[in-house]
Amino acid sequence: MMDAGTVSRNSLPMIERIHTVDVEPDAEEVAIAGHVHEIRDLGGLVFLIVRDREGLIQVVFKEEREPDLFEAVQDVGSEDVVRVVGEPVESGQAPGGVELVPHEYEVLDEAASPLPLEIAKDVDVDLSTRLDNRALDLRKPEVLAVFTLRSKLMAAMEEWFDEEGFVDIKTPLISKGGAEGGAELFPILYYDRDAFLSQSPQLYKQILMAAGYEAVYETGTAFRAENFATSRHVSEIAMFDVELAYIEDHHDVMDVQEESLRYALRAVAENAERELDLLDVDLEVPEDDFPRITFDEALDLLETEFGHFPEDPTDLDTKGEKLLGEYFEEQGHPAVFVVGYPDEKFYYMQDVEGDEIASRKFDLIYKGLELSSGGQRQHNVDVMREVMAEEGVEEANFEFYLEALDFGTPPHGGYGLGIDRLLQKVTGLDNIKEAIMFPRDPNRLEP
């Protein structure tokens, strides 16, 4: 018996149909609906390939068998939305091994013609044209597969954190200041005051650690006002943020990221076989522990193995990340942590007595791309104020944050993972914009 207030899906006022993947040969009469993916007219025989979210099915119209339906289908066009009721029969030549003998046929909506973008044909189209016609591009089975895979990936990620007792939170997308720096902020007018779109929920996550929430995660959005032109940056970013308290050190944070990522990748390998096949991806789930190397070790490795020296001696550049990724992938490790970046921001634990690293800040490099940044935070407000003074950071911009942490804050840490970047690497896409339904960059504000 359903709980009070629960609505059965079958009770909703929806058109009667089943998905193409659920059609079995020699079953009773079924109804399907979707877009017309392909039309083949062979005179007295018309083959209609109908596409829904789950796949394709072939409908065969024979003039001598169903003359009225055969006549009706003569006017059908590519991407028309149709509904067909028919008898499924086994066919070795049809997608999925089954085709429909139609009993009923109707056009629910006609598509404009000609199409600005081919859906069924494998035509090489540049990314800009695809994004200009994104509503049609998203119909392609392989593009749709990217986002159904994304849904399964994030559902698995959230499942791991729910089972581990983390609290799902939502932090503001509008703030008075930023966690990273003013140059990367999008200014907005908030009533009669200046405000900014959020760069990161980090300060609010830390406040929740001081508030006793102990372990939180957020699937959200961040904004970066960088003037870039690369295949790995966008202006509106999907982020998965994590923060946890009562940690011993930054290794506890890395343990959480490693286990949760492995769980999510394993779930995709098991539950997204159709998507992986469509995208021609052989997903490798890292079963061994992720290597953890120091920042200095990373620099030494780049120098000795590749003769590469990052221009900024306090950070890894794009080429350095790619080379490290290639080096560790050859050893069977698609993911590697780099720990101990120097000259870090005031909110990271750094220059700790006894540490052999400059800070307890880490990056996770996955398949040659920085996937996340995180580490152990500084929870001593007095120490933070000293570092802020040394770095010339204006305390007034962070007073709400400093005050919140001044009333007793447990040792804590966290990280922010780029969902778009993760999806790009899992699916093997060339450009991060392909991993976003409607990407935003310095030159694109629509569709």
What contacts 9, CB < 8 A, 6 or more positions away? none
Cα dihedral: 259, 262, 264, 269 (round 10): -160
> Residue 148 is encoded by which pair of tokens?
């159904």
Please name which of 304, 353, 347 lies closest in space to residue 324, comparing C-alpha atoms.
304
Please name which of 331, 318, 332 lies closest in space to residue 368, comparing C-alpha atoms.
318
Map tokens 């998507």 to a residue. Answer: 275
Considering Cα of 349, then 319, then 424, then 225, what sign does the dihedral take? positive
The answer to whether 421 is a known ligand-binding residue is yes
The answer to whether 373 is a known ligand-binding residue is yes
The answer to whether 180 is a known ligand-binding residue is yes
Query: In whole angstroms, what is the distance from residue 447 CA to residue 445 CA?
Result: 7
Map tokens 């804590």 to a residue. Answer: 412
> Residue 67 is encoded by which pair of tokens?
């003359």
Distance of CA 306 to the CA centre of its chain: 31
Query: In whole angstroms, what is the distance from residue 158 CA to residue 252 CA?
Result: 19
CB 330 within 8 A of CB 312: no
Please name which of 317, 318, 422 lies closest in space to residue 366, comparing C-alpha atoms.
422
The answer to whether 23 is a known ligand-binding residue is no
- Burial level of 154, CB count in 10 A (0-12/13-18/19+)? middle
The answer to whether 232 is a known ligand-binding residue is yes
The answer to whether 377 is a known ligand-binding residue is yes
What are the backbone angles phi and psi of residue 33, rounded to the nearest 5°? -150, 150
The answer to whether 418 is a known ligand-binding residue is yes
Query: In whole angstroms, what is the distance from residue 60 CA to residue 102 CA?
Result: 7
The answer to whether 226 is a known ligand-binding residue is yes
- Using DSSP, state whether 12 is helix, strand or coil: coil
Quick one: which H or E segment has residue 157?
A: helix 141-163
The answer to whether 35 is a known ligand-binding residue is no
CB 428 within 8 A of CB 366: no
Residue list for the binding site for L-aspartate: 180, 224, 373, 377
Residue list for the binding site: 180, 224-226, 232-234, 370, 373, 377, 418-421
Residue list for the binding site for Mg(2+): 370, 373
Residue list for the binding site for ATP: 224-226, 232-234, 370, 418-421
